[in-house]
Amino acid sequence: MPFPRTGTGRALRAAVCLGALAAGSASAADRAPRWVEVRAPHFTIYSDAGPKQARQVAWQFEDVRELFHLLWPWARLDPSRPILILAVKDESGLKTLLPEFWEKKGSVHPAGVFVRGEDHHYIALRTDLADELESWQENPYHVVYHEYVHLILDLNFRRLPAWLNEGLAEFWGGTIVGRGEIHQGKPLRSAIYLLRERALLPIDRLLEIDYRSPEYNEHARASVFYAQSWAMIHYFMLADQGAHRQTFGKYLLQLKGDEADEQAARQAMGDLGKLKRDLDSYVRRFVFNYVTIKQASQAARADMPSREVAEPETLALRGEFHLARGRLQAARPVLEEAVERAPDLARAHASLGRLELWEGRREEARRQVARAVELDSTNFLIHYLHAILNMGPADTPEAMAGVQQSLERSAELNHDFAPAYALLAEVSAYRSGDYARALGLARRAVGLEPGVVHHRLSLGRLLAAMGKRDEAKLEGDRALEAARSDADRQAAQSFLANLATPRPPPVAAAPPTQEAPAEPEDGGAPPPTRPNARVSGGLRTATTRGIIVSMTCRPSGELIFVVETSAGRLTLRAQAPDRVFLRKGGAMVLMDWTCGPLGVRAAVNYLPEKGSTVGVDGTVVLFDLDPAP
């Protein structure tokens, strides 16, 4: 790697500069620009600035990716969802994609944004800044690079301390990719000035801040948190000719993989008090190093194919982008126009289907996605959506065959699409009881996206259904550690609570009451499978005896039991494994059954469901494994 050189020059604030750049007046031809598509090895660029400018943008991001490949040769760099870049030629084009940033007077006008979506990840940016990049003191695309770094980190780490996650994103977000050089580690002037004016956080406090901490969420405190996190990374990477990189490497090593040990990682940093003093001195320097890397010559770069994009496809692309950002009202008119002008455009039908699903019109969503499948059988997301839309609460294992086929096709088309593997694991276990294969699929989903809470919980549900409660709890704990949002945190906590040792069943806690015949349904005779009933807590339960023929695991975590009695077959359900209470030898025991055939003789206490539309006779309350003859 080339020797670092000193970066100097006048401080520029990106937001101020961006706000000062006015778009030129548009000609009649500019009002309806022709868009082109350029396919790079790892990115797809759509642009109204012409193929040459689109290729420049493509190489800019290919260079950033290659930089990470050189620095982290062990890292996975390509997400399961392709990255699409919408490269507009000026500020007016970006305003069309991001109108809310121009709706409020005085708001900052960004040079670009990064958006994570269900089908693709999106970058929207203006290209008219590219010719000036090497003259900028701070990267105008900082926000875009920052979020791209987060994406790469999420692909490789289950959980990172908040300071490290944000510090790395800030450090690499400042990378400037010019036409001949890459400037890595240029100082963030705003961060340096802030840290000189404000007191630094104690290092032990910085290391323990998480995504719920006030220092992370309150704007005034967050400014110091982000600035100090950046300064820590810059110090470890570039201070004193790289003398501290080994310490930083030891710290990172302790955080890799599922067995991450944050306490051991902190010890690798040594004396935290000395580190704070060194950092405080570091941010007061007058000179900061950064690294310059020469790029490959333009002639050495392979050409990238391009094609002109028809206007309906451009409309569909804009609609997809609005949908990814949650702007449903903006997405609908352009998607509907795309379908009207090109009825056979699969991507427009698929996106309309997603929009209908989000707005609660499931039948219309199913129709749109089915049409998309007819038009394009090679889109992995369309098959995944088709599977979701064809799942229902009353599905039998046989009815789920089509769902499983759609998920398998989705995974076949995109070998790295983790959501398809996670759902396929639970569906295949529900249908066949083949837990060895199901666990392999769930673990692949976790390996592809280690920080996604839903994948961890899918794996945990499978382990719990197999009776491997300790392993299931470990996945639940890891999911809780990885959770950043309140929704993810609540899902993990609910899973762990359900997995805890079951409480005594409600029927056992109620005072005994006199048995009475079950009430006839619809004026008829009592069903033969409910010979006795018991009133408990205002609810009427029933008791019968027989053989538990099988236990089936549904993707939602629900269990379905088939019980063969002398009077007929009984189908019962339980919301989750921990909701099934077993009694043996007069004591409560944990369930350790594997989904599939059982052949267990038991007395069954359950809550009947009158007029059930989901194909079950009731909900299990208790299985007594020592039934009286």
Encode pLDDT of 246-288 as tens digits. 888 888 877 876 666 777 788 888 889 999 999 999 999 888 8
**Average pLDDT value for residue range 554-579:** 80
User: Which pLDDT does position 143 carry in this prediction?
Assistant: 93
pLDDT category of residue 23 using cuts at 50, 70 and 90? very low
Q: Options 2.40.50.140, 1.10.10.60, 3.40.50.1700, 3.30.70.3340; which CATH number does 519-624 get?
A: 2.40.50.140
**Average pLDDT value for residue range 498-502:** 72
Is residue 525 predicted with pLDDT exceeding 60?
Answer: no
Lowest mean pLDDT among 157-161, 396-400, 494-498: 396-400
User: Which pLDDT does position 186 carry in this prediction?
Assistant: 87
Q: State both tokens at 76.
A: 């996975």
User: Which pLDDT does position 393 carry in this prediction?
Assistant: 60
Q: State both tokens at 450.
A: 């280690």
**Average pLDDT value for residue range 7-34:** 39
Compute CA distances 599 → 242, 500, 562, 602, 627, whole Å. 66, 26, 10, 10, 14
The separation between CA 363 and the C-alpha centre of its own chain, rounded to angstroms, equals 26
pLDDT category of residue 515 using cuts at 50, 70 and 90? very low
First to last CA, the chain: 81
Residue 128 DSSP symbol: T
User: Which pLDDT does position 169 carry in this prediction?
Assistant: 95
User: Which pLDDT does position 262 carry in this prediction?
Assistant: 76
User: Which pLDDT does position 229 carry in this prediction?
Assistant: 96
Compute CA distances 470 → 289, 429, 523, 577, 580, whole Å. 49, 20, 49, 14, 18
Q: According to CATH, where is 2.40.50.140 located in the chain?
A: 519-624
Angle at which helices 245-253 and 219-238 pack, to 10 degrees? Answer: 120
User: Which pLDDT does position 32 carry in this prediction?
Assistant: 58
| Whole-number percent of the chain with pLDDT over 90 | 43
Smallest Cα–Cα separation from 65: which of 151, 154, 179?
151
Q: What CA–CA distance (Å, rounded) separates 589 from 448? A: 36
pLDDT category of residue 505 using cuts at 50, 70 and 90? very low
Q: State both tokens at 527.
A: 């069903």
Is residue 329 predicted with pLDDT exceeding 70?
Answer: yes
pLDDT category of residue 355 using cuts at 50, 70 and 90? very high
Q: Are 623 and 604 in contact (CB under 8 A)?
A: yes
| Whole-number percent of the chain with pLDDT over 70 | 81
User: Which pLDDT does position 6 carry in this prediction?
Assistant: 35
Q: Following DSSP, what letter does each residue of 355-407 receive, concatenated?
A: HHHHTT-HHHHHHHHHHHHHH-TT-HHHHHHHHHHT--TT--TTTTHHHHHHH
Q: Are 565 and 545 in contact (CB under 8 A)?
A: yes
Which amino acid, one-letter code, is at 344? D
Is residue 504 predicted with pLDDT exceeding 50?
Answer: no
Percent helix, percent strand, percent coil in the chain, to nearest 5: 50, 15, 35
Is residue 619 predicted with pLDDT exceeding 90?
Answer: no
**Average pLDDT value for residue range 202-231:** 89
Is residue 235 predicted with pLDDT exceeding 80?
Answer: yes
Is residue 346 predicted with pLDDT exceeding 90?
Answer: yes
Give the torsion through C-alpha atoms of 313, 319, 321, 325, to 10 deg: -170
pLDDT tens per residue, range 416-459: 999 999 999 988 888 877 887 899 999 999 999 998 999 999 99
Q: What CA–CA distance (Å, rounded) separates 491 from 452? A: 12
Q: Are 590 and 466 in contact (CB under 8 A)?
A: no
User: Which pLDDT does position 552 carry in this prediction?
Assistant: 82
Residue 501 DSSP symbol: P
Q: Following DSSP, what letter does each residue of 554-605 receive, concatenated?
A: -TTS-EEEEEEETTEEEEEEESSGGG-EEEETTEEE---PPSEEEEEEEEEE
User: Which pLDDT does position 408 carry in this prediction?
Assistant: 94
Classified as helix, coil or strand, 165 is helix
Q: Which residues pair with 608 in a beta bridge?
A: 618
Residues 6+ apart with CB under 8 A from 540: 518, 519, 533, 534, 607, 608
Is residue 580 predicted with pLDDT exceeding 60?
Answer: yes
3-class secondary structure for 270-313? CCHHHHHHHHHHHCCCCCCEEEEEECCCHHHCCCCCEEEECHHH
Lowest mean pLDDT among 15-29, 79-93, 231-245, 315-329: 15-29
Q: What CA–CA distance (Å, rounded) separates 45 from 85? A: 5
Is residue 384 predicted with pLDDT exceeding 90?
Answer: yes
User: Which pLDDT does position 573 carry in this prediction?
Assistant: 84
Q: According to CATH, where is 3.40.30 located in the chain?
A: 24-158+302-309
Going through 68-178 in order, the beta strands assigned E by DSSP cover 83-88, 112-116, 121-126, 176-177
User: Which pLDDT does position 342 carry in this prediction?
Assistant: 96
**Average pLDDT value for residue range 469-485:** 91
Q: Which of 220-224, 342-346, 359-363, 581-585 has the highest mean pLDDT?
A: 342-346
Q: Are 98 and 144 in contact (CB under 8 A)?
A: no
Q: Which of 94-103, 250-259, 516-525 has the highest mean pLDDT?
A: 94-103
Q: Specify the higher pLDDT residue, 110 or 500.
A: 110
CATH 3.40.30 fits 24-158+302-309, yes or no: yes
Q: Are 603 and 623 in contact (CB under 8 A)?
A: yes
pLDDT tens per residue, range 42-75: 999 999 999 999 999 999 999 999 988 988 888 8
Q: Is the Cα torsion angle 418, 419, 422, 424 positive or negative in sign?
A: negative
Q: Are 237 and 174 in contact (CB under 8 A)?
A: no
Average pLDDT score, the chain: 81
Q: What CA–CA distance (Å, rounded) separates 1 from 184? A: 11
Q: State both tokens at 461.
A: 């549900």
Lowest mean pLDDT among 21-35, 127-141, 183-197, 576-590: 21-35
